[in-house]
Structure formats: C-alpha cells, structure tokens
C-alpha cells in the first residue's frame, strides 16, 4: 500500500475496499469469465446450435463456479496467458478452454467466445461492473442522506440567521436548510436508479456476420436480446463494434450531480462550523494543527469536497469521451473505461467522509441565538411588507433609509416599530416579533416535505 501510486489503492484502500473486487483487474477478469460462461450456457439452450448439447443442472452449477469462485490465483493464471497472447480477452478465452477441456465439457470448450469480438464481452463486463459498483456507492449515499434527514428533524425548530450574498437575511431554521439537501439527494438517487445500462452482443461490426455465416437459421437478434437482458442490462440492437456508451455516460453524469450536491453540503457545513453554529466533537488523541494546539478542523468535509471534485473530473471526462469513437471503433474507449472504478471510488470516498463529518457535529444553540439577536435589521423585510398592507407606497424606501448597511439592536428595532403609522394591533404584533421567531414555514416544511 505504501508503494501505491493511486491514493485509492494506498492511503484510502480500506475506505473503499468494497469496490476492489468489482473494479480491480481481477474483478474485470471475473466479469469477463461470467459473460463467456453464461454465453456458453445460453448456446447450449439454443436448439439451432445442436453441436452444443444442453448442459445439465449439475454442469451449469460447475460452469458458474468458474466465475463465482474466481480469485487472485485464477487471475494470475490469466495474466500468465496474457503474456503470450498480448491480448487480455483472448487470454480469458484460452484460460476457459484449458479449464473446460475435460470429457464432460469438451464439446462446449470449442464454443467459448464463439462468433464474438472482444467488445461483445467487454461491454457487458464493464456495464455489469459499473452496475454493481453503483449499488455499493448508493448504499453510502443513502446512509449520508438518512443521517442528514435525522439532523433535519432534530434541528427543525432551531432558528438560524440566513446569509444571502454572505450578508444577514431573513431567518430560517437549521433543520430546514439541511432538509433541502435531503430532497436534492433523494432526486439524485432516483435519477441514478432510473438509468438502465446497455449492452450489445452483435459481433465484430454489429451485424452478427460470423454468427449468420455459421448458423443462418438461428434468430441471433432474438437470442442476443434474451442473453443481454438475462444479465440485467438493456439490449442495444443497433451498434458498431462497440456499444456507444451513451447510457454509461448518463450514469457518470448522474453520479457527478450527486457529488456536486454533496460538495454543496460540505461547503455549507464548513461555513456553519466557521460561524460557530456547529461545533466538532473532539477526540483527545487527534491533532488539529502541527503548530496551533487549539485547532479542531473540519477535515472530513474538506476531504469529501476534494474527493467529490476529483471524482467529477474523471466521471465527466469519461462522459464526454466515451460516446465518441472513430467510425466503427477505435481503441481509446478501452483505456478510458478502465478508470470508471476510480471515478466511482472517489465518489464513494467523498460520501464516507461526509458521513464521518456529520457524526462529529454538535449544534451550538447559544451561538444561533446570539447571532440572531445581533441582527434585528433582518426584520426590515416584514416591517416594510406590513406598511405596504396599509397603503404606504414608499414603505420600502422608508425602511431602507433606516436599515440598509446598519446593524440594528433590539432597542433600535422597537423604536422603529413604535414610530410607524400602522394600526395598533399590527404594531403590537411587530413588537413581539424577533429574528428567532421570524421563520415563516421553515419548521413545518421539514415535517411536510
């Protein structure tokens, strides 16, 4: 680990360990083996290909063990073959033939990779890889959102001074501001889950040329659709050599939006901490600064922000690159696709750091109250609104003169209200108003939405 170039394989390896079996090279090999084995089983069930006898239930179980039990030892054997072939997919084919070249599978062994181009195997393997990786990523996103929801409910009645353009503005509640992110992340998750990754299985240039030449009576379009859909993917019937990656690009973009929302949360929490609204729980053994002993830094949110940004640079780069290919195919997509695990990995790491930071938060109710008490000028909004209600055409301009750029104390606010030419009942209502109770529907919105 100390010799790793990528932080995901070094410093942060434990944090994203659930992705290693999915996005590692050994993981890619396992997905390729799965595609080849399931294709062989499907050929055995195709009556139009009599040379491949149907496999028994016992045989199918044994065949599937080749990918279900695929491990580092098997991966090393594939790499040894690849040294000879200088071709990673062909190495998988030879590896499987060596394993299947026994009496019970000998007839089927010759049909491994039958009629296929490498991309038939790769596109399905990469789609399954991304599909499984997204499942792990979403587990973390949902944990983050569940915790934000819990905090939103707990803090829904704690009034908070808003800042628009960094300046004091109409008050809100801590819970309502957090609830905004709950709704946004819910939508982001729904968007990710709605995307169906695609797969093609149509030969060298997408026309089933070799398949048709060998077995012209087989409905290869129907066969391929059934096979691709059996893997949980959307069948794409019209392609070049490669599946054009449009849905993969949509997935990368959808994940990047979730990351962007997470960055927005990280930054808001960071500012709330700097204002003293939130405080971070201390751990005695930890150090906040190498020279300033008092420091307790929001490092988890900063780490998340950086990792989310890095994830998006990769994911959006892939989303722009992968749908573009010269004519029927060039190889630039292959080297690009190998990095989708890095994009998902940094996304997962960002989520986990945000969650870690959220667990360290403590609300400082006194700081919230004091900040509000220092800014009675934010009630200028309601004062001028009530004045308009009673016919003061220049209400805004009057209050602007007395409040713009000024910090009003409670005493100054009360004096302002008492000087107003409005009904006594309305004046009494304004006199009872404070920044802390001027929160509109903020608390109710958390319950309602």
Tell me if 308 is assigned to some domain. Answer: yes
Is 263 in the same domain as 346? yes
Residue 207: inside a domain: no
Domain that holds residue 288: 125-202+236-364
The per-residue pLDDT string of the chain (449 residues; one tens digit each, 9 = 90 and over) reads 788 899 999 999 999 999 999 999 999 999 999 999 999 999 999 999 999 999 999 999 999 999 999 999 999 999 999 999 999 999 999 999 999 987 788 878 999 999 999 999 999 999 999 999 999 999 999 999 999 999 999 999 999 999 999 999 999 999 999 999 999 999 999 999 999 999 999 999 999 999 999 999 999 999 999 999 999 999 999 999 999 999 999 999 999 999 999 999 999 999 999 999 999 988 878 888 778 888 888 999 999 999 999 999 999 999 999 999 999 999 999 999 999 999 999 999 999 999 999 999 999 999 999 999 999 999 999 999 999 999 999 999 999 999 999 999 999 999 999 999 999 999 999 999 999 999 999 999 999 98
Residues 40 and 72 in one domain: yes
DSSP 240-260: SSS---HHHHHHHHHHHHHHH
Assess whether 101 and 132 both reside in one domain. Answer: no
Single out the residue of 218, 361, 196 nearest to residue 278, CA to CA. 361
Q: Residue 170 catalytic?
A: no
- Are 353 and 267 in a shared domain? yes
Say whether both 182 and 289 belong to one domain: yes
What's the structural domain count of the chain?
A: 3
Task: Mark whether 105 and 132 lie in a shared domain.
Answer: no
Q: The domain that contains 386 carries what CATH number?
A: 1.10.40.30
Q: Are 31 and 89 in contact, with CB atoms under 8 Å apart?
A: no
Answer yes or no: do 190 and 101 share one domain: no
Which among 165, 194, 290, 419 is annotated as catalytic?
165
Where residue 263 sits, what CATH number does that domain have?
Answer: 1.20.200.10
Which of 55, 83, 114 is the last residue before a domain boundary? 114
In a domain, 7, yes or no: no
Active-site residue flag, 289: yes
Domain end marker among 114, 140, 162? 114
pTM of the model: 0.95
Task: With beta carbons less than 8 A apart as the criterion, state whether 133 and 22 touch.
Answer: yes
Cβ atoms of residues 348 and 356 within 8 Å: no
**Among 6, 107, 289, 332, the one annotated catalytic:** 289
């Amino acid at each position: 680990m100390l010799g790793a170039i990528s932080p995901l394989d070094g410093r942060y390896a434990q944090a994203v360990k659930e992705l290693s079996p999915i996005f590692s090279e050994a993981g890619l090999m396992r997905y390729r083996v799965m595609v080849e084995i399931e294709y062989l089983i499907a050929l055995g069930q195709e009556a139009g290909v009599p040379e491949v006898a149907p496999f028994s239930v016992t045989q199918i179980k044994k065949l599937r063990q080749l990918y279900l039990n695929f491990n580092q030892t098997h991966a090393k054997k594939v790499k040894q073959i690849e040294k000879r072939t200088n071709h990673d997919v062909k190495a998988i084919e030879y590896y499987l033939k060596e394993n299947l070249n026994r009496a019970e599978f000998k007839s089927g062994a010759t049909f491994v990779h039958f009629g296929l181009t490498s991309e038939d195997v790769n596109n399905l393997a990469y789609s399954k890889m991304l599909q499984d990786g997204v499942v792990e990523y979403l587990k973390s996103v949902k944990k983050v959102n569940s915790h934000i929801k819990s905090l939103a409910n707990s803090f829904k009645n704690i009034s908070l001074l808003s800042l628009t353009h960094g300046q004091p503005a109409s008050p809100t509640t801590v819970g309502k501001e957090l609830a905004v992110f709950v709704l946004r992340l819910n939508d982001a998750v729904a968007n990710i889950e709605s995307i169906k990754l695609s797969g093609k299985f149509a030969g060298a240039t997408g026309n089933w040329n070799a398949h048709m030449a060998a077995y012209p009576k087989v409905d290869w379009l129907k066969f391929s659709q059934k096979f691709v859909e059996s893997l949980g993917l959307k069948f794409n019937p019209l392609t070049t050599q490669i599946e054009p990656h449009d849905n993969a690009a949509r997935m990368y973009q959808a994940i990047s939006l979730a990351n962007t929302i997470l960055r927005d949360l990280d930054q808001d929490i960071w500012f709330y901490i700097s204002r003293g609204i939130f405080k971070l729980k201390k751990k005695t053994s930890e150090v906040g600064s190498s020279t300033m002993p008092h420091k307790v830094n929001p490092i988890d949110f900063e780490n998340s922000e950086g990792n989310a940004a890095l994830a998006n640079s990769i994911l959006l780069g892939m989303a722009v690159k992968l749908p573009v290919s010269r004519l029927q195919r060039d190889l630039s997509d292959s080297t690009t696709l190998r990095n989708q695990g890095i994009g998902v990995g940094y996304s997962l790491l960002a989520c986990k750091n945000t969650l870690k930071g959220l667990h360290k938060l403590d609300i400082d109710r006194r700081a919230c109250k004091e900040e509000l008490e220092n800014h009675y000028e934010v009630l200028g909004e309601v004062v001028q609104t009530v004045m308009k209600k009673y016919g003061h055409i220049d209400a805004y301009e009057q209050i602007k003169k007395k409040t713009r750029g000024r910090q009003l104390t409670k005493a100054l606010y009360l004096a302002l209200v008492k000087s107003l030419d409005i009904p006594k009942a309305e004046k009494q209502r304004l006199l009872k108003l404070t920044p802390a109770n001027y929160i509109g529907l903020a608390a109710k919105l958390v319950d309602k939405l």
